[in-house]
Structure 1
Amino acid sequence: MTRLPAATLLALGLALPAQALDLTAMTEDERTAFRAEVRSYLMDNPEVLMEAIGVLEQRQAEAQAQNDETLVQVNADELFRDGQSWVGGNPDGDITLVEFIDYRCGYCRKAHDDVAALVASDGNIRFVVKEFPILGDQSVLSSRFAVATLQLAGADAYKKVHDALITFRGNITEDSLKTLGDSLGLDTGAIMGRMQAPEVEAVLAANHNLAQRMQISGTPTFVIETQMLRGYMPLDGMREVVAQVRAD
């Protein structure tokens, strides 16, 4: 039987799909020579590795985007129209932006002004906030207070509390929440009494269950129509995503 030189095998291996080259059909000497040729080629042409890694990362990103789009479609009602989350911006906007937020998250705080600027400057974005406390007891207290405020005092009061909590720099305790609520002119006693209510617990549990289904484990996480942004993105980047979504 005629045996192909190792260099020829290497050329075939690079030119053909992985399944087209059966290494098990080689002799042990051919396999050893083939491996040596591959190693020598890669050492002489290391840029091939970077090119391959780039292709792999691109394919992974495309697969992630497709998976994210499917997750959004399956969970669209709870993401965009759950009837229990705060809705700001333009309620009739042509694009809905959803943010999963934790008030103790540094990147959520960093994103706060960018998101506000995006919504205000665009004028046609519907903005939905999902309370998603994952960073400990103070996060949970903050979200309970915010949700209780929304349920008892309405959307305008919630917005004030939301903005105050995201910029709050001290420790979150019942006393500090009472002070914060009083400073905003709220019925703090009623809100504090509501924080452990089943209705508040139901909102937080639903958001956590939704995040789990959406494969969300960190904050901030954004959903812009069918696209998901996992982590902080500067204002210009978010504007580019919005423009891309509108163009699609």
Structure 2
Amino acid sequence: MNNVLTKPNKKFKFVLILGLVANFWLAYESYELHKLKTAFNTIQISEPNPDLNKQIASLKKEVLLMNKVQQKYQNKKIAIQTSKIAAQQKEIAAQQKEIETQKQKIAQLHGEIRNLNVDKGVKVDKEVVEKILLKNPEIVIQSIAEYRFQEEQNFSNNDKKVIHNNYEQLYQNTQDPYIGNKNGTQLMVEFIDYNCDSCKRFSKTAQKLVANNPNLKIIIKEFPVFGETSGSSYGAKIANALYLKYPQKYYDFHKLLIDHTGDLTSNIVKVHLKRVGVTISDLEPLLKDSESNIANNKILAEKIGVNSTPSVFLGNEKINQLSYEDIQKKLDSINS
């Protein structure tokens, strides 16, 4: 029996140890809970700042004030610009008034000079004339302007003579293609390059002129200006050859080339040629004739002063204003 009391069995030892562990764990949990409570009690909860709304309101006022200042600055800037424009307009009006005054003076002085009546033997005082010119230099300026105008007229007359001397080659070359009325008596000539942007724009005008003037014949002078290897040079050669063999197909082909957007290459020319039902081999016998005609166009261009495209002629005149309205007026004046 003593052995039983003094030597506890293994089961009793395990229960004893388990109890000790449980007590230790409870003590540890109590300690941790105490720490949490202490930490919680030390937290100071900050209350909302009562001035926060005032600060926000103040910031809003500042923003509104800045917007007003900026708007005021913009309005002032606009007012200054408006004032400058008004001042400039006033200055222009003053200048125009001064010009009118000078014109009146010039007219008056011209009258005085005419009244000197030099033809009747009245001696003109050189000093008087010099004083008049020095006091009124605008007379000299107008005289120079009139001189230049007369020179331009003389130059224009010389141009007309040159055109008249080359009229047959300009207007009556049967190898040149055309658009419009084959038998039209109103004749116009256009030197073109298919890669020329101005030619592409004028093409619209030419088509409108043909549509509204049934008696108009526009002769096309193939005149490539971008070099022998350019796509437009190849296009000119093919177009002229096409006209020589299939004149009825020329207009459609010409329109495909001139309406093409972007750079015209030889490959694109061949594509457009197929679209009108013709192949390069069909035109080979006439390519030399086409090249010869284009060479003759270049010689003619040099004679009559053509060095760019489009260059347009009507009668014995080279047309410088290429708008539809300007050319139509000229055509109307010929008809009247």
Report TM bin, short chain. Answer: 0.7 to 0.9
Distance 2:318 2:279 in 1: 37
Q: Deviations over 1:64-92 (max 9, x none)?
A: 32122212211111111111001332233
Q: Deviations over 1:95-148 (max 9, x none)?
A: 211111111111111111111111220111122111111123232112112112
8 A contact 2:194–2:264 mirrored in 1: no
Matches within 5 A, 1:50-199: 51-136=142-227, 137-152=230-245, 154-191=246-283, 193=284, 197-199=287-289
User: Are 1:101 and 1:221, in contact at CA under 8 Å, matched by a contact in 2?
Assistant: yes
Does the aligned pair in 2 maintain the 1:194–1:200 contact within 8 Å? no
Conserved? CA contact 1:141–1:172, under 8 Å: no
Q: TM-score, with normalisation over the residues of structure 1? A: 0.75
State the aligned residue count.
Answer: 215
Of Structure 1 and Structure 2, which has the larger fraction of its residues in helix?
A: 2
Deviation per residue, 1:155-177 (Å, 9 max, x gap): 22111111111111233333222
Task: Indicate whether 1:208 and 2:298 are aligned.
Answer: yes
> Are 1:237 and 2:334 matched, yes or no?
no
Identity rate, percent:
21
- Deviations 1:32-70 (Å, cap 9, x if unpaired)? xx989855532xxx4x46533542343233223212221
SS at match of 1:96: strand
Q: Structure 1 counterpart of 2:312, which letter?
A: F
Point out 4+ residue stretches in structure 1 off by more than 4 angstroms.
34-40
Structure 2 CA distance for aligned equivalents of residues 146 and 104 of structure 1: 14
CA distance in 2, matches of 1:96, 1:112: 16
Change (3 A) 1:37 1:50: closer
The alpha-carbon deviation at position 238 of structure 1 amounts to: 0.3
Q: What are structure 2's unaligned runs of at least 5 residues?
A: 1-108, 119-125
Matched, 1:219 2:309: yes
Q: CA-atom RMSD, angstroms? A: 2.9
Larger RCO (CA under 8 A, 6+ residues apart) = 1
Give the whole-Å Cα distance in 1 for the aligned partners of 2:191 and 2:297: 9
Unpaired runs of 5+ in structure 1? 1-10, 21-29
Q: Secondary structure at the match of 1:190?
A: helix
The Cα offsets for residues 216-242 of structure 1, whole Å up to 9 and x where unpaired, read as: 111111111121114x51100001111
Report the CA distance shift for 1:166/1:39 in structure 2 as closer, same or farther (over 3 A). Answer: farther
Using the alignment, how far apart are the partners of 1:94 and 1:57 within structure 2? 35
Q: Distance in 1 between matches of 2:194 and 2:113?
A: 52
- Name 1:24's counterpart in structure 2: none
Instruction: Measure, in 1, the Cα distance between the counterparts of 2:131 and 2:195.
Output: 54
- For 1:198, what is the secondary structure of its paired residue? helix
